[in-house]
A = this chain, B = another copy of it.
């Protein structure tokens, strides 16, 4: 397994749609920030810096699977619990559980999402294109 980090989100009026619930692409916006937050909490530097030291410019998604369980609306505070569920050779599975604490203090599951991400570098032959790097051991060590 891995360390765990929690990213907190306030749901705002503008995050909700005419049905008065969170417009779902916003969950992915928050999950992307939570994914990054996990690495920061583990002590990994900004991608700006890792580009110079390790050639890593970010962790783009290759696959994501999300399940929406309960709706959320503005005024809610959500907690996104992030961990790495699996390390593969050139990718990893990051798990996100978005919960809302109810009046009884229990965590209601709002949605959950498993992401497959890679550590991306620029291609030598074409700096506009990216490629998957082997998991940098310096980064993995910080996260375990």
Contacts and interface: CB of A to CB of B under 8 A. Distances in A.
A64 B61 contact: no
A130 B73 CA distance: 12
Contact of A14 (B12, B17, B63, B66): B17
Interface string A15-48: 0111111011110110011001000000000111
Given A28-B25, A32-B14, A36-B12, A19 B57 contact: yes
* Chain A interface, DSSP helix/strand/loop, else mixed: mixed
A14 B14 CA distance: 10
A73 B21 CA distance: 17
A27 to B, nearest CB: 8
Nearest to A7: B10
Interface size class of A (residues with CB under 8 A): 35 or more
B60 A128 contact: no
A82 to B, nearest CB: 14
Given A14-B23, A32-B25, A33-B13, A65 B65 contact: yes
Interface string A40-81: 000000111000000001101111111110010111000000
